[in-house]
A and B are shown apart, each in its own frame.
Chain A
């Protein structure tokens, strides 16, 4: 590419109506966020998100610290890491499925998609707005749920727990866990958004995706990079034992730096959202057959 062409492309890029698109994305998000958080359909997603917090609450109510506080902190840290695996692979997976597959499919089922299609808005902008509303919903729900789990675990241990959780290495763990939550919402969200635009019923493809993500660790190297779990596993702050079937969830066969994992997942998600936008551009409205 010559310098002149590069400058022309840069100018063209800069001259796009970015402010208009930002306003439109925000308008889409405003409409969707209220529905995501306050509709009756959101109840089961709240259930999925906050079930782990409820489990932890029950745990801290019945469990008592032993004589060795440091050992207890360690065992609770491992317990939290185990819980996080289930949280990430079940709660977040199915929660994101509920949120993101409904973004467009819900509009089709309720016969309201034309409301968005009849405005002077690029379909790509609509896709981004819808995706971001789903992402914000999921990140807030699951992030706050895990934050609650973390608080409950380390507060109930006492002084040693507070020292570890809020002044020691636990704070770093919390940061990494929340980063994984955000990235999981990004990764799973993009996958489910795209699947909802390919299949009318997302349950079967959702089950296939669950299987695909579960066996991520034993896939060939190149295929591993097409799974969300591969990147997330690299970022989980507490290493767990890797014996037996549990190794499927914990072993990282090809470690890469954290920054590369974050970048990789963001890139993968962006590609999937771009594909979803392409599908939306070609989407016609035929509520009868849908």
Chain B
């Protein structure tokens, strides 16, 4: 049985409106982030994955199961959707417990799993209270608890950090990281790019219903040839380094960052730059403390590929 989430040439149209078009993906275990502006098709992709909408064409498979077999699929999949609506009159506890009872889980086991899920999202104290009285962040967390409650191996999370305060956000991200380390498939859509960047193993960039780029962040960055790579060098003598790199054809820009910030170099040929740097170091002209890519992150890649116009 396949251990991947597979999209094969999947398209979804809502009447004349394009949801996603010709998406082909193969997502392995770990944390995958879907990034793109509003209307780029992230939620559609997640709804397709979980069978909430049916593709107009193409094939989808989650660990060998098609999304139109919910009785098989949702033993292994948990989906924290963006819909901020709950069955009326339920407490947080009843919301999770009722969900588990719908799975067919017996009352005692459902009770244990409900308490465990509430604990994971720090909502034990609020469990007996009506959801109608929850804050936005608490509603977000109770949805997350619902998605986690039956211990799935695939977790699909649509904007799971929305509405969370910084403390809850940090805890939630730590939870995702822990789940990613447990070999789970965690698919996250988020517009908080810095945080997505920190935890993602790979990224899927979307715009206007198309997958613009996908893969490990480093690999995706390497493919963006039209934008010079930015490299930050912390060294003893940035002015000397700057004068040396200026003579190179491949260097587009070199900027000394004040107060010991180092030198920021933009180059179209990083390999040549690294060779040059090695030479300068071996000649004793500069003493390097650290070298790091400065734009190998989701935010930069997003800006390069999708641009400022998109509202993530």
Contact = CB atoms under 8 A, between A and B. Distances in A.
Nearest to B147: A118
B158 to A, nearest CB: 11
Given A31-B98, A286-B14, A117 B51 contact: yes
Interface string A10-52: 0000000000110110011011001100010000000000000
Nearest to A22: B104
Interface of B: 14, 47, 50-54, 68, 70-75, 78-79, 81, 83, 85-89, 98-99, 101-104, 106
A2 interface: no
B47 A24 contact: no
A24 B87 contact: no
A27 B104 contact: yes
Contacts of A28: 102
A123 B70 contact: yes
A121 B51 contact: no
A120 B83 contact: no
A114 B104 contact: no
B101 A27 contact: yes
B74 A119 contact: yes
Interface of A: 20-21, 23-24, 27-28, 30-31, 34-35, 39, 110-112, 114-123, 281-282, 284-287, 289
Contacts of A284: 47, 52-54
A115 B87 contact: yes
A31 B50 contact: no
Among B47, B50, B87, the most chain A Cβ lie within 10 Å of the Cβ of B87
B54 A282 contact: yes
B38 to A, nearest CB: 13
Nearest to B44: A286
A111 B86 CA distance: 8
A120 B71 contact: yes
Nearest to B47: A285
26 contacts: A24-B104, A27-B102, A28-B102, A30-B101, A31-B87, A31-B98, A35-B87, A110-B87, A111-B85, A114-B52, A114-B83, A116-B102, A117-B51, A118-B70, A118-B74, A118-B78, A119-B102, A119-B103, A120-B103, A121-B70, A121-B74, A121-B103, A123-B70, A284-B52, A286-B14, A287-B83
A118 B102 CA distance: 10
Nearest to A27: B101
A122 B71 contact: yes
Contacts of B79: 114, 118
A180 B14 CA distance: 44
B71 A121 contact: yes
A196 B71 CA distance: 24
A121 B75 CA distance: 9
Given A118-B74, A286-B53, A24 B88 contact: no
